[in-house]
Amino acid sequence: MLRRNIGKSKVSNKKQNAQQPALPKSLWKFYFKYAVPGSWGALICYAVAFLAARSGSVLFPYCERWFIAIFEQPVPAGVNFVQFALPTILLIVGVNLFLSISAVLRGMFHARWSPQISNRSSVILNDYVHSQSMSFWTGRMAGQVNSQINYITNGFHAVQDFWRIFASLAFMTVSVGLIFQINMYVAIIFAIVFVLRAAYSWALIKPMSKASKDASSISSKLSGKIVDSISNFSVVKLFAGASREREHLEPVRNQHIAARVWSFFVQRLFWGVPLVVWDICYGATLLFCVYLYMNGQITVSEIVFTVSIYFSTMNTISSIVDSIPDMTERISSASKAYAELVVPIAVQDAPDAATLNVTCGEIEFRNVSFKYKRKWVLQNFNLKIKCGERVGLVGASGAGKTTLVNLLMRFYEPNKGQILIDGQDIKTITQDSLRENIAFIPQDPTMFNRTLRENIAYGKPGASDKEIRAAAKRAAADEFIMGTDKKYDSMVGDRGIKLSGGQRQRVAIARAFLKNAPILVLDEATSALDSETEVAIQKSFDELANGRTTIAIAHRLSTLRNMNKIVVMKDGHIIEQGSHNSLIKKRGEYARLWKMQSGGFLQE
């Protein structure tokens, strides 16, 4: 028989997960502290190549100017025209090569940093949400959390837009300066248009950012609701609820459409109006150039340069204007998602938390009071469970049984009182070490959509096939597993949907066998089993509980026959406790429940 030495409990001190560091409050601090390090080189090279490629907005007009100037200048005697033109043409080719190579390098450096930085953000945020406490999850939908992570991950790409805007503004200033050298009045026309443009954009940035924030928030909400609806497909089928689902989603969908339409509208307004103004100013500039030429104040090559600068500046401005909505949308979606996601972790390890050292597995609830929100679920609850003792928890639904084990697992923290394991307050030890010492089998265990082998092995990373099979045999799971197509390599489906409730529980029990923790907690773990299977694995349970401190919550009292002590709870209080026989003799609540159930399948 399986005998294990509890004294040497198997908490692996070596791989103690250091507690997830508290993430900074500011999104940009998060990016620069956690996502960027390791990619600084690529990011800086990208920024330089970007600037070089952008210089085209000034260098291209120069190339045109130089080329036209060839025809304006007198060719020195004795030099043929091709020879005269060649140096200028070579210069122009050189400039173009420089710009093209810069553009290629910019793309290559981008390819280097972009996926890496996204991936780092994603890894950190995934770790972070896994380090969040239970209360974080009860208030959220998985789909929503996923889309928030995506928003934050994508948010960093706003630096590209930022850099594009910075570079464009810089070269635009240079352009105005160059035009100024040719003619002051043309430069003034340019400058006025830029300033108006900037003022207009500035005025619209706030409403635009609000509109896109609203749109992305409602979009996360919609995506959460859709995932919720899709993942409950079986309920929808069962109740022929497809049209009800559609109706349920409709209000959010309508809000989503309205928010998107408004956001697009504001964006179009943002770049549409200035285009019209530009067209008029273009006409004015051309007219002005003709006037200057008539008065001999401007040459043809200068006119070509001016018009070319005008166009490249117009493109630059368009690219800025296109970037601003993208940038504000990215940043505002990311910062909103970040604020919603990165909230203080309710249950944290103490800074000097030690690892739990289980010597024999004594558990004590000492004056524990707890409420989820307003209503007290437990008040001054006291219970002592001796080393290796098996305690059954019984009580009507809502009595607080699950809450009690949630507190023991430290999914929540008691408002008052202490919970001690072998004299160590669980508040003072690391959560990882606590949970490594407790095998917990919930009522409705969920599975990863991975193979049966991987799901069982989750109880003990690196377990050998032999160990996995032995654990499955003890949990009476081997037989059904060998009956599946690919045996231990069969996939279990999304959250284990390809398995029956009883099969899922047997996999969870196998996992617990493999985990081999000194404390065992079963929360209605056999409720989904049929009577026959239950009898079959009752033995496995007894074996699993052997030598371990065990807390078993059960509706079916038959499963608690072998408990040393039965605790009867009502409204968060203990109303009776004792052995099965003594409680029957007492003719109290337990005896009443027993009488109600003893017509069942169990034989005394």
Ligand X SMILES: Nc1ncnc2c1ncn2[C@@H]1O[C@H](COP(=O)(O)OP(=O)(O)O)[C@@H](O)[C@H]1O
The alpha carbon dihedral of 131, 136, 142, 148 has a sign of negative
Question: What are the residues whose beta carbons fall under 8 Å from the beta carbon of 319, sequence distance 6 or more?
Answer: 164, 168
Pairing of strands 519-523, 363-371: unpaired
CB of 521 to Mg ion, least distance (A): 12
Tokens of 451: 């193979």
Query: Given the rule CB under 5 A, which of 269-277, 358-366, 400-408, 476-484 is the region that contacts Mg ion?
Result: 400-408
What does the DSSP assignment read for 534-586? HHHHHHHHHHHHTTSEEEEE-SSGGGGTT-SEEEEEETTEEEEEE-HHHHHHH
Of ligand X, Mg ion, none, which one does residue 377 interact with (CB within 5 to 8 Å by kind)? ligand X
- SS3 call for 200: helix
Tell me the number of residues near Mg ion by CB under 5 A. 1
CB of 140 to ligand X, least distance (A): 12
Of Mg ion, ligand X, none, which one does residue 232 interact with (CB within 5 to 8 Å by kind)? none
Of Mg ion, ligand X, none, which one does residue 3 interact with (CB within 5 to 8 Å by kind)? none
Distance CA 16, CA 355 (A): 9
CB atoms within 10 A of CB 109: 21
Of 115 and 398, the one with the shorter C-beta distance to ligand X is 398
CB of 577 to ligand X, least distance (A): 16
- At 15, the amino acid letter reads K
Distance CA 94, CA 87 (A): 10
Of 302 and 524, the one with the shorter C-beta distance to ligand X is 524
Of ligand X, Mg ion, none, which one does residue 61 interact with (CB within 5 to 8 Å by kind)? none
Of 404 and 471, the one with the shorter C-beta distance to ligand X is 404
Of ligand X, Mg ion, none, which one does residue 403 interact with (CB within 5 to 8 Å by kind)? ligand X
Of Mg ion, ligand X, none, which one does residue 395 interact with (CB within 5 to 8 Å by kind)? ligand X
Of Mg ion, ligand X, none, which one does residue 81 interact with (CB within 5 to 8 Å by kind)? none
Of 388 and 400, the one with the shorter C-beta distance to ligand X is 400
CB of 506 to ligand X, least distance (A): 22
Residue at token pair 């009883």 = 502
Query: Given the rule CB under 5 A, which of 211-219, 336-344, 401-409, 475-483 is the region that contacts Mg ion?
Result: 401-409
CB of 590 to Mg ion, least distance (A): 18
Of ligand X, Mg ion, none, which one does residue 466 interact with (CB within 5 to 8 Å by kind)? none
Contact of 46 with 109, CB cutoff 8 Å: yes
Of 129 and 152, the one with the shorter C-beta distance to ligand X is 129
CA angle 291-293-295, nearest 5°? 75
CB of 20 to ligand X, least distance (A): 22
Stated length of the chain: 604
Distance CA 441, CA 456 (A): 13
- From first CA to last CA, the distance across the chain in angstroms is 26
Of Mg ion, ligand X, none, which one does residue 291 interact with (CB within 5 to 8 Å by kind)? none
Of 139 and 461, the one with the shorter C-beta distance to ligand X is 139
| 3-state helix vs strand vs coil in the chain, percent to 5 | 65, 10, 25
For the chain, how many helices (H) and strands (E)? Answer: 20, 10
Of Mg ion, ligand X, none, which one does residue 138 interact with (CB within 5 to 8 Å by kind)? ligand X
526 binds Mg ion (CB under 5 A): no
CB of 372 to ligand X, least distance (A): 3
Question: What are the residues whose beta carbons fall under 8 Å from the beta carbon of 496, sequence distance 6 or more?
Answer: 445, 446, 447, 449, 455, 504, 507
| Alpha-helical regions (H) of 232-299 | 233-238, 242-294
Of ligand X, Mg ion, none, which one does residue 398 interact with (CB within 5 to 8 Å by kind)? ligand X
Query: Given the rule CB under 5 A, which of 130-138, 350-358, 395-403, 572-580 is the region that contacts Mg ion?
Result: 395-403
Tokens of 289: 């150039």
Residue at token pair 């030690």 = 354
Site string for Mg ion, 353-392 (x = CB under 5 A): ----------------------------------------
CB of 443 to ligand X, least distance (A): 9
Among positions 153, 220, 402, 430, the unique one binding Mg ion when judged by CB under 5 A: 402
Of 202 and 372, the one with the shorter C-beta distance to ligand X is 372
Residues within the interface to ligand X (CB under 6 A): 138, 372-373, 377, 395, 397-403
CB of 133 to ligand X, least distance (A): 11
CB of 348 to ligand X, least distance (A): 19
CB of 399 to ligand X, least distance (A): 4
Of 159 and 409, the one with the shorter C-beta distance to Mg ion is 409
Of 402 and 577, the one with the shorter C-beta distance to Mg ion is 402
Element (H, E) at 591: helix 589-597
Pairing of strands 519-523, 438-441: parallel
DSSP state of 333: H
> How far is CA 343 from each of CA 125, 224, 337, 338, 426, rounded to the nearest angstrom?
12, 18, 11, 9, 23
Strands (E) in 372-453, as ranges, are 376-385, 390-395, 416-421, 424-425, 438-441
Distance CA 347, CA 4 (A): 32
Distance CA 134, CA 458 (A): 20
Of 222 and 393, the one with the shorter C-beta distance to Mg ion is 393
Of 57 and 402, the one with the shorter C-beta distance to Mg ion is 402
Of 6 and 377, the one with the shorter C-beta distance to ligand X is 377
Distance CA 407, CA 378 (A): 10
Of Mg ion, ligand X, none, which one does residue 400 interact with (CB within 5 to 8 Å by kind)? ligand X
CB of 400 to Mg ion, least distance (A): 9
Of Mg ion, ligand X, none, which one does residue 372 interact with (CB within 5 to 8 Å by kind)? ligand X
Distance CA 419, CA 404 (A): 10
Residue number with the shortest CB distance to Mg ion?
402
Residue at token pair 């697009």 = 264
Q: How far is CA 248 from the centre of its chain?
A: 26
Of 105 and 396, the one with the shorter C-beta distance to Mg ion is 396
Of ligand X, Mg ion, none, which one does residue 274 interact with (CB within 5 to 8 Å by kind)? none
> Across-strand partners of 439?
520
CB of 512 to ligand X, least distance (A): 19
Of 272 and 398, the one with the shorter C-beta distance to ligand X is 398
CB of 525 to Mg ion, least distance (A): 11
Instruction: Point out which residues bind Mg ion (CB under 5 A).
Output: 402
